[in-house]
Homo-oligomer: A and B are copies of this chain.
Amino acid sequence: MSIDVLQEKIRKFKNPVMVGLDPYLPILPQHIVQDAFAEHGQSLQAASTAYERFCTELIDALKNIVPAVKLQSACFEALGADGIAVMQRVSKYAKEQGLYVLIDSMRGDVGPVAEIYAQAMFGEVPIGQSLHKLYECDALTVNGYLGSDGIKPFLPYCKREGKNIFMLLKTSNKSSREVQDLLSGDRVVYTAMADLVMRWSSDLYGKNGYSEIGAVVGATYPQTLKLLREKYDRLFFLVPGYGTQGGTAKNVQFAFDRFGHGAIITASRSIICAWQKEGSDGTDYLSYAVDAAEKMKKDIAKHVVIL
């Protein structure tokens, strides 16, 4: 269900882009940081306030251009409890604004611990007779190194509650080859991981034919994207590595099927830090972000037509 929702949002916007919200003080415009310091001193609360303003302003500016956002969990976690409170609120705000929300935490626990985590992220936390919803989260990134025991706890949420998980197959970083490209028989580790995803997907296909369990494949490896697209025609791809990391619109075309479906491209710094590259003082960071998002949409549209 949810993978259909994501695809429909992409079609509506004609834009297969997910903006990564990775707040971090050194990349925030100075006026946001200074306002927060003036109110709360140089505290974790100040930083959290600044992150919240930065993320919600970006959501407001981008919500009519992009269908989805990705919250980088580690950035919020790095402010401790204050940061987590902001991640909870930002996820809810993004959802209220109509966006598909992915929380990028790349977790990989197993057994009861993974069940507890899945429930907290996707469901409601039971306390006595009451239920508490922490996040509004459509999807999570998950590390499958531990095998099925780490994935199964998420599947009921994918099946019944319209949630998605995206398994790490081939990540965009340079050293991803060290483990992910190891050859095993006629497969490499990341295709073995893809085969596992297919096994878990058996009763989890959306109306558009794609599995509710997607796969992370980096824009920096276009040949891999192409091979995986051909072999795994029912895996929806989440594609990081565009922009700052070197992935281009030409690269990412291979992630899509012939209808221009089946993939979404993430971009973080190239959009949310666009003002830094241009030498602005940051007060107009939102218009830089909008311009960068529009440009990315146009660049991809040169290579991918979304029917």
Q: How far is the CB of A56 from chain B (nearest CB, A)?
A: 17
**Range of interface residues on chain A?**
35 or more
A199's nearest neighbour on chain B, judged by CB, is B178
Interface pair B185/A168, CB less than 8 Å apart: no
Interface pair A179/B147, CB less than 8 Å apart: yes
Interface membership of A81, Cβ < 8 A: yes
CB-based closest 4 A-B pairs: A147-B175, A42-B128, A78-B120, A147-B178
Interface pair B176/A182, CB less than 8 Å apart: no
Interfacial residues, chain A to chain B (CB-CB below 8 A): 22, 24-25, 33, 37, 42-44, 46-47, 72, 74-75, 77-82, 84-85, 88, 105-114, 116-117, 119-120, 125-130, 132, 134, 143-150, 168, 171, 173-180, 182-185, 189, 192-193, 196
A119's nearest neighbour on chain B, judged by CB, is B78
Residues of B within 8 A of A176 (CB): 146-147, 149
Residues of B within 8 A of A193 (CB): 179
Q: How far is the CB of A114 from chain B (nearest CB, A)?
A: 7
Interface pair B106/A108, CB less than 8 Å apart: yes
Q: Can you give 19 A-B contacts (C-beta < 8 A)?
A: A43-B127, A46-B127, A77-B84, A77-B117, A78-B117, A81-B81, A108-B108, A108-B145, A110-B173, A143-B143, A144-B179, A146-B175, A147-B177, A147-B179, A149-B176, A179-B189, A179-B192, A179-B193, A182-B189
A117's nearest neighbour on chain B, judged by CB, is B74
Most buried by B among A106, A108, A145, A146: A145
- The one of B74, B88, B179 in contact with A107, judged by C-beta atoms closer than 8 angstroms, is B74
A178's nearest neighbour on chain B, judged by CB, is B147
Interface pair B85/A81, CB less than 8 Å apart: yes
Interface pair B107/A107, CB less than 8 Å apart: yes
Residues of B within 8 A of A134 (CB): 78, 80
Alpha-carbon distance between A80 and B125 when the two chains are bound, in angstroms: 10
Interface pair B148/A113, CB less than 8 Å apart: no
Alpha-carbon distance between A182 and B184 when the two chains are bound, in angstroms: 6
A79's nearest neighbour on chain B, judged by CB, is B125
Residues of B within 8 A of A80 (CB): 84-85, 88, 120, 125, 132, 134
Residues of B within 8 A of A174 (CB): 147, 149
Residues of B within 8 A of A84 (CB): 77, 80-81, 84
